[in-house]
Every structure is written in C-alpha cells, then in structure tokens.
Structure 1
C-alpha cells in the first residue's frame, strides 16, 4: 500500500483523521467516507453529490478577485472542488449524510463569492485530488495540502492556514512518544498517500540504519479508520494534524491524547489548483480581500481554530520557519 515518494500524487499534503466508535461524529463520518474520485460534471452522480453542496455566487459579493478569474473558468461558470470529507473540523459530512461542512468548506465557498463564481463541493479520497486536478476532473483541491516540489510539477498551491501535525494515542495508553525518533518498533496509524506517511517511511529508514526496529506503518484510507485503529489498540500511536486531533479529543471527552510537541508547525496548508492556469492568483486575491474585511477570521473563529490563521496567503509556499 506504500506509494513512490517521487510521484507528485504520493504524499498527502495534509495530515488528517477523526472519529471514534460510539460517538455521533463517527456516525457522521461513516455515512460519508466514500473516498471516491469526483464524478464528472453533469453526470447523475455529480448532481447527487452536489445536493446540499452547491454554493451559487451572489454577484453583489464579488470583489476585485473576480477580475482575475481566467476566462476558461468564467465560461464554465462553476468550479468543482474536491474535499476529503472525513476530517473534522476541516471538512466532513453533516448529519444529513450529504452536506459537506467544516471550516475548509466554509472557506472555499466564501472564496467563490469573492470570485463571483459558483462552487460545487465533491467528496473525494485525498489521494485522488492531485490526479483529479491534472486530468481536469476537478478545478480546486481543498484538503489542507502541503506545497511539495513534486506536487508543484502538476499543481499550484495557495496557503491559507498554518497547521502542525501531532502524534496521538488513546488516553489509556501508558506509552510515551516525544517525537518521530521514538517510533522505532511502534505500530503507527496514518492516512494513505499523505506527507505524514512519507515522513514515517523516512523515519523507519533512520531506525533501521541505527540498528533499531523499523516503524510498523499502518495505512488507512480515511481518518475515521485511522483513529479507530488507535482507539482499538490495533495501532500503538497515530499521526495526524494537530487541529484535527484537538477536535477529536474534545468530541470524545478525552478518549485520546496528544504525544510530544507539534511537528512541522511552520508548513502552511494550501488550496491546490491545476498548474499554470492563473486561478491561483485569483484565489490568493480573494483570500487577501477576506483577510481585509474580516470574513476570513470569522470562519476560523466559528470553528474554534483561530490559532491556525495566517496574515498573508502565498503561492507555492513550502514553509519558512522564520515566517
């Protein structure tokens, strides 16, 4: 199940996870974690997926960013947005079993208003998003991706938040992990195709080079299964985004706990678009306008993740500790 690191679609771009057995949020996730590629626009399945997930643009809300939208997208009239809707509070399927909600869903819909263009949200497996952009099946990937050099061969990225990753265990675990170096010999749950999986593979090599046991990397297709593996004891520890696990801990009344300090807290999460289309500049401008009028901050405040906001969106920012 491991992926080639050299592939632009291989490492995830963004940590993730969520859900535990017996709580309402787990039911929400199981109702929607279809992890399928976005349906072609106009198909019956696309129309079904769009139910409750179509965000028509209000012309009165369009900003200067609308002038930067490339003609090919204006003519199309609707941007198809791929989200991995299994990772609260970023994006997940609501109790109705079809509507994608979360701060990332709210953010991309608000960007659509600034662009003066309709947005159609589609639930997609994380590892299908970059290929979907490359093939034209989707126009925007909104899944907390990292701008990695390999990915930038086929996509451009616009930063919108700063989210570190974290190790986590069940609260009943007596094991301690202060960082990746402590994972030699441990069974670690992680989402398939993510940057976190790549980090674990690199750490495993360091472990064996030092004469220690390799990391036992357990990959899962969605965040819900990853978290359940940790909770059930199938995995010793999980590896996911800090804000996602913070949310998990709150929703499960402390059934899980973080381990060690945040990892990669200087790498921005980004929105992805197909390479060299010009749509990146329009989205960057929309974010700048939202930051100026306060609507950007209100979205993050609403979802209780104010700490991950940034001051300025950038294009293809791979992370700078000094920023």
Structure 2
C-alpha cells in the first residue's frame, strides 16, 4: 500500500495568505499533484494525442494588422524566440524523440508568431530561468503557464490566452456529484499538493465547513503521481484537486478519471495565463492582436480542443489585465 501523509488544516487567515502568495507561482511542474510526468507521457503509445516530433499543427494565416504592430527590433531577424519549460502535458512536453517541444503552449507560440509573419523558435528552459532571460532580451517571450500578477507586471507585459483553472477529478465510476462549493467536499478524502494554492483553497473551504458543523476534509499528500493515482483507483481517496490542464490530459489519455468540477486558480479572484514579454518592448501589443485574430477565426479554439483544454478558453485576449495582488 502506498503511503500518504496527512497534516492538520491551517487557520483560515494563513490559508488566505498562502493562496495569494502561491497562486502567483504558476510553474506547471511545481504544483501538479495529479499531473503525469513528461517522460511517462512521451513514452505512451496509445494516448489519443499526437506526441511525435512531426506535429500536424493548426494552420494559421498572417494578420497584416497585427504584424504591423511587431516592434522593429523583433522584426529585424524575422524570428520570434519563445521559451517553455517542457514539463507538464499537455501544456509543454517533449515528443517521442525526447528533444522536440510540443504541446498547447508550443502550438499557441507558433500560431501567434506565424500570425505576425515571423518564423518561430521554441526552446526549453527551466522555470527559474525564464524571468532573467526575458528581462535581458535573450528570449522574446515565455509561454509556460505564467499567471498574470501585479508583482510580475512591474517587469513584464502580458497578453492573456487561457483561464487558470484548477480541477477536481474522481475515479471514472465514482458516484460523487459536481464539486462547486465548500459543502461539496465535506467529509471527502482529497489528494492535494502540499504548499500549493489549491491546498490553500481547500483549507479555507474546510474551515468554512467545520464552522457550520459539516464533516472535515481528509487531506492526503503523496510524493508522486503513481501513488496518488493508485490511492484514487483503489478507493483510498475520493478526489484529486490540482491544475486542471494536466489532470484533463490524463483523464483523456487513460479514461480512468473524470472531471467533477473546476475552479479558477486565483479563487476567489480571477487568474489568467498570458503570453509574457519584457515590459515596454511593444511585443505584447502585437501578441494580443494576433491572439484575438486567432480567437475570431477559430484557430485558437481548434488548438485548445486538440489538447483537451476547451474548458480553459477565453473569449478575448486582454493586455495587462488586473493580476493577482501582491502578498
């Protein structure tokens, strides 16, 4: 039997503080309690997703109006250099050759660049390295599940392209109904990542439930995805709660789990994922125009659908919207 750890819930005040602080960290590999590893995904032969290096990406057309907004410094070499972490399917992962980056973030990068009339190069980079790379203009943009925050807006510009969602997932044959609010998790055994914003939300909900006399949540913490999935499938846990993108990919890939509820990653605030560039260089303005072109002509929807992320679509890209507040 795989071991798991439990710990007492923190106070509500600590939960709120943790929520606002940790929601700002959107490293897709650091918070995915139920997301599969990139290695496991790349080696799976029957996923229903194209994981080969030869990607049949959605074809896009150049948007002349958006292309005219590209800063001269970026037009100079005719290329858009984008980085992503390569660690979390379906956002960004390595193909079956273990060197080619693929995924929804990569597809969005290509679609934006090609809409702007630019050649596109997507490079892998560690999460900790992208901020300095963007600030120093070594790279021109990062697409790696980066959430808009007020702190980040001091150094970067943003063009939004996806909602930041968390998902509740249950075993496929589970009788659990829709999870929409605090009372729905009362008495449930929930697998969650320690020190994450989803844990902070769950702690806050648990405190609310206990104040109303409802049964407490049993928090379960696992060291790896295999152990957490075994617990869920064997009936030792009722739900997983973590980043929706990775969990949705896994559900579509193996059919063993189902989504029973989603929640914005910044709850009770709104959090959005964005095309991120150096502040003041003008590229975000062009990217926003390109994204809205892709939304309007349907290419954007086809890209998200291709990777099972239609639930995270936005109706319009926004430039530097209100971000999650500083802690």
TM-score (norm 1): 0.66
Q: What residue ranges of structure 2 are gaps of 5+ in the alignment?
A: 1-17, 45-52
- Tell me the matched-pair count: 281
Q: Secondary structure at the match of 2:291?
A: helix
Larger Rg: 2
Q: Which residue of 2 aligns with 1:140?
A: 141
Counterpart among 21, 27, 45 of residue 43 in structure 2:
27
Counterpart among 240, 243, 250 of residue 241 in structure 1:
243
Q: Which residue of 2 aligns with 1:157?
A: 158
Contact preservation (8 Å) 1:5, 1:11:
no
| Shift in Å, 1:286 | 1.0
Q: Which residue of 2 aligns with 1:252?
A: 254
Q: Which residue of 1 aligns with 2:9?
A: none
Cα distance between partner residues in 2 of 1:168 and 1:152: 32
1:57-99 deviation per Cα after TM superposition (whole angstroms, max 9, x unaligned): x9x8352222211122223543321212232222221112222
Q: Which residue of 1 aligns with 2:276?
A: 272
Distance 1:216 1:274, change over 3 A: farther
Cα distance between partner residues in 2 of 1:114 and 1:218: 43
Q: Secondary structure at the match of 2:81?
A: strand
1:130-180 deviation per Cα after TM superposition (whole angstroms, max 9, x unaligned): 343234342211122221112212212211123421134666999999579
Cα distance between partner residues in 2 of 1:272 and 1:131: 12
Distance 1:289 1:248, change over 3 A: same
Q: What residue ranges of structure 1 are gaps of 5+ in the alignment?
A: 29-50
Distance 1:252 1:206, change over 3 A: closer
Contact preservation (8 Å) 1:268, 1:318:
no
| Shift in Å, 1:26 | 5.7
Counterpart among 302, 306, 310 of residue 310 in structure 2:
306
| Shift in Å, 1:118 | 2.2
| Shift in Å, 1:117 | 2.1
Cα distance between partner residues in 2 of 1:108 and 1:191: 31
TM-score (norm 2): 0.65
- The aligned runs of 1:102-117 (5 Å cut-off) are 102-117=103-118
Cα distance between partner residues in 2 of 1:319 and 1:233: 36
Contact preservation (8 Å) 1:189, 1:230:
no
Contact preservation (8 Å) 1:140, 1:271:
yes
Cα distance between partner residues in 1 of 2:186 and 2:72: 50
Q: Does 1:12 align with 2:53?
A: no
Cα distance between partner residues in 1 of 2:218 and 2:313: 33
RMSD of aligned alpha carbons: 4.5
1:167-226 deviation per Cα after TM superposition (whole angstroms, max 9, x unaligned): 34666999999579659997855398xxxx245357658879989999979698xxxx5x
Q: Does 1:190 align with 2:193?
A: yes
Q: Which residue of 2 aligns with 1:281?
A: 285
1:249-272 deviation per Cα after TM superposition (whole angstroms, max 9, x unaligned): 121221x3445x311175332111
